[in-house]
Amino acid sequence: MAKSACAPASSPTTQGNDANKQARGFLVHRLNSMDSAWTALDVVTQTMVQKAIADPKTVDLEKLSDAIVEQSLKDLSFCKDAGRMCYAVVQAEAQKAATSAFRRNLLTRLQQEFTGREQTRSHSVQEWVCLVTFICSIFDYIKVNDAPLVALVDPIYDCLFRLAQPDALMNEEEVDCLVVQLHRVGEQLEQTNSQRMNQLFYLLRDGFLLQEDLSSMTRLLLLEILEFRASGWTLTNTAHKYYYSEVVD
Amino acid sequence: MSAYQKYRYENDCKPDENRNKGTSRWTHCRKRGADGNLRKSLEVGEPDKCSQSSRRQESFTTPESEGPVSRVKNWGDEVEAEEMRSNVQRDMHRYRRRILEADFPQRDRKISSGSSDSRDSKDSKESPAKGDIETDETTLIRRQKQINYGKNTLAYDRYIKEVPKLMRQPGVHPKTPNKFKKYSRRSWDQQIKLWRVKLHAWDPPAEEGSDLQQIEEIDLGEIMEFELDVECSADTEFQCPTSSGALLSLAEDSFAGTPKKMMKIEDAEMS
C-alpha cells in the first residue's frame, strides 16, 4: 500500500496516487469554504446575542453562554468561528456593564466539558472534535489585555496530545481537527509553552513514520503540518503549491 | 509527605476527576490511585508521559503562590486573576510615564545625577521620585480590589456623573487614593475608609430617614466592613463576581446600607 506520494519535481499537479489527489482536493475545498457561525445559530439565540452586544444588562448572560456551548457541541461549522462572536459579547459586557459574567460562565462550562472529554469522546467522536475546535476558537479570539488566555494553554495541549494518540490517528475526523487547530493556534501555543509543542511533534512524527495503517489522507495531513511548523508556522511557496493547488485530472 | 507529593495525593482523591480513573492515560503515572492506595509500579514503557505529567504539575508551584496550589484551577478565576494582574501592570506603566512626563516636561533637558536643581519639595510631594513607587504586585492587586469595591457603588457612579474631574475641589470632593504611592498598610486602609465615607454623600436617596442619619448608620457599617476587608485574605474577598452576577459578599450587604451594583472587574482610574 505504500505508493509513492512524491510528485515529479517538474509539475506539482501530476501525481500517481488517486487517494493523494482526493486528499489534496479536500484541502483546497476547505481553504475555500466560508465558515459561518452566525447562520448556524437558531433565531432565538441570534437575537440574544445581538441584544447582549447592544445592551449586556438586558440579557441573561449565563443562559446565553450555556446556549452557545450547547450549540458548539452539535455543530462543527459553528464552533470554528464562534470564538469571534463570543469575544464580541465579552467586550460589550466589559465596556458597557464593566462585568465579566459571560466570560466567566463560558469558561466554567467549557472546563466542565473539558473535564469530561474522555467520556464525550467515547460516546461521540463528533462532539469531542467540536469541543476541541470550540476551545481553540475561544483561545484564538478572546484575549485579556491583548494577551492570550493562559489558563487554556495546558488544556488545549492535553486535547491535542489526545488527538495525536494512535487510536485517534485512525480517525480522519480527529486528525483533521488536530491539524486545523495547529494551523490556527499552534504558533501562539508554542510561544506560551514550546516544550509541550516539541513533545507533541515527537508524537506526530512517530505516528507518521511508524503507524502502518494510517490512511493516505491522514499521512498527507500530518506531513503538511510537519512542514508547516518546520517553516515557522507557514508554508513555503512550493510546499503550498504542492498541497493546495487545484487538483487537475 | 512533601508538599509536592501531597498535591498529587489530594488531586488523585478527587472523586469527580475523570483523569483519576483507570482509563486515563495519565493515571499510570500517579503514585496513588483514586482510592488513595499506592499503585504498583509505574509503566516502564511510557517515560515521556510521566515526565510530561510531572513537568506539568511542577508548573503549578509558582513562587507567587502562598502555599500548595491546587492543581485543579477554575478557569474563570484564573482568567480574572490574570486580567487583574495585567491591568495593574498596565496601570503601572502608564503611571510611570505620567510621572516622567511631569518631572521632565522638556525632553532635551540634561539631567544631572545627584543634583536637586529642578526638584523642589513641592514636586516631590506631588510626584514620588522615580524609585519610590509601590511595585509589589500583591500589594497593588489588594489595593486595586479595595478601590474596585468603592467604585462599584451607585454613589461613585452618581459622583462621577455629577462632578467632572476638572471641577473637583480638593478636600471637598473625594479623590481615589493613589495605589502607586508608598504608604504603610494602616495609612492606606485609612485613606480608603475615609474615601468611601466621603463617597456616601452621593448615595441615591433611600426610603429611610434623613441623609445625616444615613451617614451615621453607614459609618458604623463602613468600619465593620472595612475590618472584614482587612482581615479576609485577598482571595476570599474576590469571590464576588459570581456567575449570577450577584452583589458583593453578604457581610457587606447586611452591614452597610450602600446600594451596590454588579461587581466591576477593572478600573484604571487613577484620580
Task: With a cut of 90, say whether residue B27 has pLDDT above it.
Answer: no
In single-letter form, the type of residue at position A203 comes to L
Looking at A119, A144, A169, the residue that finishes a domain is: A144
DSSP track, A56-113: GGGS-HHHHHHHHHHHHHH-HHHHHHHHHHHHHHHHHHHHHT---HHHHHHHHHHHHH
Residue A234 and residue A172 share a domain: yes
Q: Is residue A8 part of a domain?
A: no
Report the CATH number at residue A46: 1.25.40.180
Is the CB of A117 inside 8 Å of chain B's CB atoms? Answer: yes
Looking at A121, A144, A167, the residue that finishes a domain is: A144
Question: DSSP state, B114?
Answer: T
Q: How much is the pLDDT for B53?
A: 45
- Compute the mean pLDDT over every residue in chain B, rounded to the nearest whole number: 66
Task: With a cut of 90, say whether residue B228 has pLDDT above it.
Answer: no
Are residues A51 and A89 in contact, defined by beta-carbon separation less than 8 angstroms? no
Q: Which of A103, A160, A105 is nearest to A129 (CA)?
A: A160
* Cβ distance of B80 and A99 shorter than 8 Å: no
Task: With a cut of 50, say whether residue B135 has pLDDT above it.
Answer: yes
CA distance, residue B216 to nearest chain A CA (Å): 30
From the candidates A104, A110, A193, which should be mutated to test the interface with B, based on the most B CB atoms within 10 A? A104
ipTM: 0.81
Find, in chain A, the residue whose alpha carbon is nearest to that of B266. Answer: A98
Q: Is residue A7 part of a domain?
A: no
Cα-atom radius of gyration of chain A, to the nearest Å? 20
From the candidates B26, B79, B82, B84, which should be mutated to test the interface with A, based on the most A CB atoms within 10 A? B79
Q: How much is the pLDDT for B204?
A: 86
Q: Is residue A12 part of a domain?
A: no
Q: How many CB atoms lie within 10 A of CB A173?
A: 14
Residue B196 CA: distances (Å) to CA of A19, A197, B46, B186, B189: 72, 49, 59, 15, 11
Q: How much is the pLDDT for B269?
A: 47
Q: Which three cell numbers stand for residue A177?
A: 481537527
Q: Is residue A245 part of a domain?
A: yes
Find, in chain B, the residue whose alpha carbon is nearest to that of A203. Answer: B48
Lowest-confidence segment of A115-129, A146-160, B243-257 by average pLDDT: B243-257
Task: With a cut of 90, say whether residue B138 has pLDDT above it.
Answer: yes
Are residues A65 and A106 in contact, defined by beta-carbon separation less than 8 angstroms? yes
Instruction: Give the pLDDT confidence of A30-89 residue by residue, as tens digits.
Output: 655 544 666 667 888 888 888 899 998 898 999 999 999 999 999 898 888 899 999 999
Three-state secondary structure call for residue A194:
helix
* Cβ distance of B52 and A118 shorter than 8 Å: no
Find, in chain A, the residue whose alpha carbon is nearest to that of B48. Answer: A199
Residue A158 and residue A46 share a domain: no
Are residues A172 and A218 in contact, defined by beta-carbon separation less than 8 angstroms? yes
Q: How many CB atoms lie within 10 A of CB A93?
A: 24
Q: Is residue A17 part of a domain?
A: no
Question: DSSP state, A148?
Answer: E
Q: Is residue A106 part of a domain?
A: yes
Question: Among A61, A119, A154, whose Cβ lies nearest the Cβ of B56?
Answer: A154
Is the CB of A64 inside 8 Å of chain B's CB atoms? Answer: no
Is the CB of B130 inside 8 Å of chain A's CB atoms? Answer: no
Task: With a cut of 80, say whether residue B254 has pLDDT above it.
Answer: no
DSSP H helices in chain A: 18-32, 37-40, 43-54, 61-74, 76-96, 101-115, 117-123, 125-141, 153-163, 166-169, 172-192, 194-210, 216-230, 237-244
Is the CB of B54 inside 8 Å of chain A's CB atoms? Answer: no
Estimate to the nearest angstrom the gap between the alpha carbon of B219 and the chain centroid: 24
| Residue ranges making up the domain that contains A117 | 24-144
Is the CB of A100 inside 8 Å of chain B's CB atoms? Answer: yes
Q: How much is the pLDDT for A98?
A: 85
Q: Which of B1, B27, B28, B29 is nearest to B14 (CA)?
A: B27
Residue A172 and residue A235 share a domain: yes
* Cβ distance of A151 and B75 shorter than 8 Å: yes
Residue A128 and residue A186 share a domain: no
Residue A154 and residue A94 share a domain: no
Is the CB of A101 inside 8 Å of chain B's CB atoms? Answer: yes
Instruction: Give the pLDDT confidence of A87-124 residue by residue, as tens digits.
Output: 999 999 999 888 899 999 999 999 999 999 999 999 99
Interface of A with B in 155-194 (CB under 8 A): 155, 165
Is the CB of A111 inside 8 Å of chain B's CB atoms? Answer: yes
* Cβ distance of A151 and B55 shorter than 8 Å: no
Query: From CA B237, how far away is CA B77, in angstroms rounded?
Result: 13
* Cβ distance of B74 and A147 shorter than 8 Å: no
Number of domains within chain A: 2
Q: Which of B84, B85, B96, B264 is nearest to B180 (CA)?
A: B96
A-chain CB neighbours of B23 within 8 Å are 118
* Cβ distance of B86 and A151 shorter than 8 Å: no
CA distance, residue A195 to nearest chain B CA (Å): 9
Can you state the angle between helices A18-32 and A237-244, rounded to 10 degrees?
100
From the candidates A99, A117, A134, A192, which should be mutated to test the interface with B, based on the most B CB atoms within 10 A? A99
B-chain CB neighbours of A199 within 8 Å are 48, 52
Instruction: Tell me the mean pLDDT in the region A215-240.
Output: 95
**Which domains, from first to last, does chain B contain?**
137-204 (1.10.8.1120)
Question: DSSP state, B70?
Answer: P
Report the DSSP beta bridge partners of residue B153. Answer: B260
Residue A129 and residue A48 share a domain: yes
* Cβ distance of A99 and B245 shorter than 8 Å: yes
Are residues A117 and B19 in contact, defined by beta-carbon separation less than 8 angstroms? no
Q: Which of B56, B68, B66 is nearest to B2 (CA)?
A: B68
Q: Say what the pTM is.
A: 0.66
* Cβ distance of B262 and A97 shorter than 8 Å: yes
From the candidates B243, B261, B263, B269, which should be mutated to test the interface with A, based on the most A CB atoms within 10 A? B243
* Cβ distance of A62 and B243 shorter than 8 Å: yes
Q: Which three cell numbers stand for residue B116?
A: 536637586
Instruction: Give the pLDDT confidence of A164-194 residue by residue, as tens digits.
Output: 999 999 999 999 999 999 999 999 999 999 9
Q: How much is the pLDDT for A170?
A: 95
- Is A218 exposed, middle or buried (CB count within 10 Å of its CB: 0-12, 13-18, 19+)? buried
* Cβ distance of A118 and B80 shorter than 8 Å: no
Residue A160 and residue A136 share a domain: no
In single-letter form, the type of residue at position A106 comes to L
Question: Among A101, A149, A150, whose Cβ lies nearest the Cβ of B243?
Answer: A101
Can you state the angle between helices A172-192 and A216-230, rounded to 10 degrees?
10
Instruction: Give the pLDDT confidence of A3-40 residue by residue, as tens digits.
Output: 444 444 444 445 446 777 777 777 766 655 544 666 66
Looking at A99, A125, A144, the residue that finishes a domain is: A144
Residue A242 and residue A161 share a domain: yes
Residue A95: partners with Cβ closer than 8 Å, 6 or more residues away: none
Residue A139 and residue A157 share a domain: no
Residue A156 and residue A138 share a domain: no
Is the CB of A103 inside 8 Å of chain B's CB atoms? Answer: yes
Question: Among A99, A145, A147, whose Cβ lies nearest the Cβ of B263?
Answer: A99
* Cβ distance of A150 and B82 shorter than 8 Å: yes
Terminal alpha carbon distance of chain A:
22
Residue A205 and residue A125 share a domain: no
Residue A132 and residue A160 share a domain: no
Query: From CA B84, how far away is CA B89, in angstroms rounded?
Result: 9
Residue A46 CA: distances (Å) to CA of A34, A82, A97, A106: 19, 12, 20, 17
Are residues A139 and A149 in contact, defined by beta-carbon separation less than 8 angstroms? yes
Q: Which of B36, B72, B28, B79 is nearest to B52 (CA)?
A: B28
Residue B6: partners with Cβ closer than 8 Å, 6 or more residues away: B68
